[in-house]
């Protein structure tokens, strides 16, 4: 009985997703959020390492962990609230336009679909940067600072490559080509941060 209810619920959810095209919206928000999270944590890692590693490695490690976790959470909340409000307004405007065109109020399934789309967009846009920011921090809990920094940067670049490759596969572009474009963006960010951090 419970399995049957679950199947019905999933079927209804799929229908609501298709009605509002929530899958494509969620995919877009995931990519944007994950990219933001990856570059943010890259900035935290390199910035703290360049500034403090030569003076006090332990403080640098604590700074990376503390600022990374705090930044990831703040970015997740900011992204989720921003996506929620943006999607809510867009859906309301679209709904009002539809009602004006039909000269009648529209409720029921379409309104339910709006709610699902708004919530999914907020959740995905909130979770994506949090995951992208927190995973590269894991090495800092059990590795020496220098090794953790290298590992964290490599993990971030691999994540960016996979993210770019995933996007490329959707439009039949070469996986490596699109993946490398994301990696180049990450490397450019890293170089800029190192140059800025090296200034007296």
Q: Taking residues 174-190, what's their average pLDDT? A: 85
Alpha-carbon dihedral 14, 16, 21, 25, rounded to 10 degrees: -90
Residue 200 confidence (pLDDT): 47
In a domain, 148, yes or no: yes
Is there a domain that residue 15 lies in? no
* pLDDT band of 198, cuts 50, 70, 90: low
pLDDT surpasses 70 at 158: yes
- State the Cα–Cα distance between residues 169 and 36, nearest whole angstrom: 21
Contact call for residues 121 and 29 (beta carbons, < 8 A): yes
pLDDT at 45 over 70: yes
- Residue 80 domain-assigned? yes
Asked if the structure places residue 9 within a domain, the reply is no
Tokens of residue 164, six digits: 């770019």
- pTM as predicted: 0.79
The total of structural domains in the chain comes to 1
- Domain limits for position 117: 20-197
């Amino acid at each position: 009985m419970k399995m049957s209810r679950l199947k019905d619920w999933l079927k209804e959810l799929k229908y609501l997703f298709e009605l509002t095209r929530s899958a494509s919206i969620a995919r877009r928000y995931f990519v944007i959020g994950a990219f933001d999270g990856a570059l943010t944590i890259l900035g935290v890692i390199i910035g703290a390492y360049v500034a403090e590693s030569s003076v006090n490695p332990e403080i640098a490690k604590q700074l990376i962990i503390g600022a990374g976790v705090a930044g990831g959470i703040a970015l997740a909340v900011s992204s989720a609230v921003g996506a929620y409000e943006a999607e809510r307004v867009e859906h309301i405007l679209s709904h009002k336009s539809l009602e004006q065109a039909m000269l009648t109020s529209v409720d029921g399934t379409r309104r339910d679909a709006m709610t699902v789309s708004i919530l999914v967009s907020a959740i995905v846009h909130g979770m994506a940067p949090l995951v992208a920011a927190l995973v590269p921090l894991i090495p800092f809990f059990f590795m020496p600072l220098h090794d953790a920094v290298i590992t964290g940067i490599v993990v971030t670049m691999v994540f960016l490559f996979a993210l770019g490759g995933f996007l490329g596969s959707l439009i039949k572009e070469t996986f490596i080509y699109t993946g490398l474009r994301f990696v180049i963006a990450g490397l450019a960010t890293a170089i800029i941060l190192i140059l800025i951090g090296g200034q007296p």
